[in-house]
């Protein structure tokens, strides 16, 4: 699946501004530090990719501090890195994890949703849809190694993966807390959750805006495994090895068959979904609520 129009334009703009990339320009992998071991590490500003071509696996580390919020730049860079791996036959699986201590992702970047114009909100929401579609329909095996708090849009990313492994730390909660913020999840994210934990559990989780700590997350099935923090990466890689043992063609056709209807329902109603979002986020009352919420987040430290 290729990048959608708006996201592709932004991706090109990012690539044109190659000077802002630390290390190599995307598309030109550099030898790992120390070199000569056949690994090709590449990075853009906000995503670090550690490839292991011999295993057919890459680890994507989200590194958009402080909280890996889903800014337009972050989503664009993430999708560029993902596409690069998808286009390289050497890679069949990706482990997604965070490089920001204690936070997998704080979800939507609320600063993108405050005081901007409708065209910006439309571009932003299209990028969120694109992020979800690209991950949800990826041919590769995706394993989320969740090493931090994972609310809302962070949970959206994790839910697209084939497997979720959560580090056992009571602070590392996961879930869709939107109703607690007075907002409603989009239908396609609701469908993704229902496919994962079932209808009844989703009703409770969504209406109450539940954030599950590890034991409860495992019990409800929003994650597949909970492991000690120091075993997260090794567990994710061994889960990956099990999935990689299945012939790719059969596995990804099966994945597509299982996920097609859910993805199609967004693809068919994409423009209406964007319009709904723009109307919602442009309301004065929502803008005021957002400002207050952001202010509270900033004051938390003080």
Q: Which residues bind ligand LEDWP2DD (CB under 6 A)?
A: 66-67, 69, 102-103, 106-111, 113, 149, 151-153, 156, 178, 181, 183, 185-186, 189, 281, 289-290, 293, 297-298, 300-301
206: Cα within 13 Å, side-chain hemisphere: 20
When the beta carbons of 18 and 66 are compared against ligand LEDWP2DD, the nearer one is 66
Shortest separation between residue 58's beta carbon and ligand LEDWP2DD, angstroms: 25
Partners of residue 61 on adjacent β-strands? 48, 97
Q: Nearest distance from residue 259's CB to ligand LEDWP2DD, in Å?
A: 19
The least distance separating ligand LEDWP2DD from the CB of residue 108, rounded to whole angstroms, comes to 4
CB of 115 to ligand LEDWP2DD, least distance (A): 13
Between 94 and 110, CB nearer to ligand LEDWP2DD: 110
Q: How far is the CB of 141 from ligand LEDWP2DD (least distance, A)?
A: 24
Please name the residue that has the structure tokens 């704080």.
106
Query: 26 or 263: whose CB is closer to ligand LEDWP2DD?
Result: 263
Q: State the DSSP string of 230-265.
A: GGHHHHHHHHHHHHHTS-HHHHHHHHHHHHHHHHHH
Q: Which residue number places its CB atom closest to ligand LEDWP2DD? A: 107
Cis peptide before 20 (omega within 30 of 0): no
Task: Select 93 or 107, whichever has its Cβ closest to ligand LEDWP2DD.
Answer: 107
Q: How far is the CB of 213 from ligand LEDWP2DD (least distance, A)?
A: 13
Provide DSSP, 151-209: ETHHHHHHHTSSEEEEE--TT--EE--GGGGT----HHHHHHHHHHH-HHHHHHHHHHT
Say how far residue 7 (Cα) sits from the centre of its chain. Answer: 15
**Three-state secondary structure call for residue 59:** strand
3-state secondary structure of 47: strand
**Residue 87 or 299 having the CB closest to ligand LEDWP2DD:** 299
CB of 122 to ligand LEDWP2DD, least distance (A): 13
Q: Are the CB atoms for 98 and 67 separated by under 8 Å? A: no
* CA–CA separation, 106 and 172 (whole Å): 11
Q: Which two tokens stand for residue 269?
A: 């109603």
């Amino acid at each position: 699946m290729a990048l959608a129009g708006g996201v592709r334009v932004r991706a090109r703009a990012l690539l044109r501004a190659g000077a802002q990339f630390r290390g190599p320009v995307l598309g030109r992998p550099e030898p790992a530090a120390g070199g000569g071991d056949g690994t090709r590490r590449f990075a853009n500003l906000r995503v670090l990719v550690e490839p292991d071509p011999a295993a057919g696996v890459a680890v994507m580390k989200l590194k958009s501090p402080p909280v890996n919020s889903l800014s337009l730049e972050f989503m664009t860079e993430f999708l560029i890195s993902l596409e690069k791996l998808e286009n390289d036959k050497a890679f069949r699986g990706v482990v997604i994890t965070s490089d920001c201590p204690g936070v997998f992702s704080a979800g939507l970047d609320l600063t993108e949703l405050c005081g901007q114009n409708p065209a910006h909100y439309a571009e932003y929401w299209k990028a969120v849809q694109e992020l979800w579609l690209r991950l949800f329909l990826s041919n590769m095996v995706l394993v989320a190694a969740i090493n931090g708090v994972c609310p809302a849009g962070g949970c959206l990313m994790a839910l697209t993966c084939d497997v979720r492994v959560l580090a056992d730390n009571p602070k590392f909660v996961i879930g869709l807390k939107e109703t607690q913020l007075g907002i409603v999840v989009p239908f396609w994210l609701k469908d993704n959750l229902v496919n994962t934990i079932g209808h009844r559990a989703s009703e409770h989780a969504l209406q109450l805006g539940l954030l599950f700590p590890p034991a409860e997350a495992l019990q409800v099935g929003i994650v597949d495994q909970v492991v000690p923090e120091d075993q997260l990466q090794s567990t994710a890689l061994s889960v990956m090895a099990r999935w990689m043992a299945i012939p790719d063609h059969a596995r990804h056709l099966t994945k597509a068959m299982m996920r097609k209807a859910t993805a199609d329902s967004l693809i068919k109603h994409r423009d209406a979904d964007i319009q709904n979002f723009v109307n919602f986020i442009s309301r004065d009352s929502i803008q005021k609520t957002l400002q207050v919420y952001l202010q509270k987040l900033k004051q938390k430290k003080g």
